[in-house]
Amino acid sequence: MAVYKVKVATGDILKAGTKNSISITLVGSRGESRQTTIKHWFLPGSEKDLTVHCEQDLGPIVLIRLHKWRLFLEDAWFCKDVRVTAPDGTLYRFPCYLWLEGVITLEVREGSGRKKLVDDELEILKEHRRQELEARQEAYQWKIFAEGWPRCLNVDSVLDLDSNVQFSCVRATDFKGALIFQKTSHLLTGFLSKSTSWKSLDEMRSIFSRSKGREIGGCLVCPPP
């Protein structure tokens, strides 16, 4: 009987915790463990400890599978990392830093630096890499916005993107706040309401110097004759 000690860490960002069911499967070079359920109620910044019992030694742990199951309502979970200690004391680290949404199984590769990769020896790692590339190719496709314009992502809105490629709610709120501030500033200075051409560079400089864009106004200097 081989016993593995597992520590699962939840990120410390806003709403990172979850009440949904989370379980884990350890995958080694000699086999894999049974799916083991972790305790519920994951709080932001918390860590959960559990033991995984296997009938035999799994060999080097090459990846893990995190299974998320929705009990009643959807409650996304942000996994920071997972650390697995083998029976011989070897520590395996699995950095994740991803959101898990809905009913999903996420495979995470072992993240320790190695001098020699074992991808060519283990078919399961080859398959994992192939599925990862296919998923990225499907998620990130290009489309032509307009003839002569640079291509853009084939989505109608940033909300259609996966949560892991969107800005965090804190960063998004910061951007929206900065945008509202700049629009208000330009409205008060008369920039947004101006419908005629600029009369001089001094007029442009007088408007931009009242906002954080004063560096732009400072660049509006005619070169000497």
Positive or negative: CA dihedral 219, 220, 224, 225? positive
Please state, in angstroms and rounded to a whole number, the distance separating the CA atoms of residues 152 and 146. 10
For 58, 75, 77, the CA distances from 62, given in Å and listed in that order, are 10, 28, 23
Query: Biggest alpha carbon distance in the chain?
Result: 86
17 in a labelled binding site: yes
Which of 12, 8, 5, 11 is closest to 21 using CA atoms?
A: 8
| Strands of 101-141, DSSP E | 104-109
DSSP designation for 18: B
75 in a labelled binding site: yes
Residue that has been written with the tokens 């020896």 in this structure: 121
> Annotated binding site for Ca(2+), which residues?
17, 75-76
> Annotated binding site, which residues?
17, 75-76
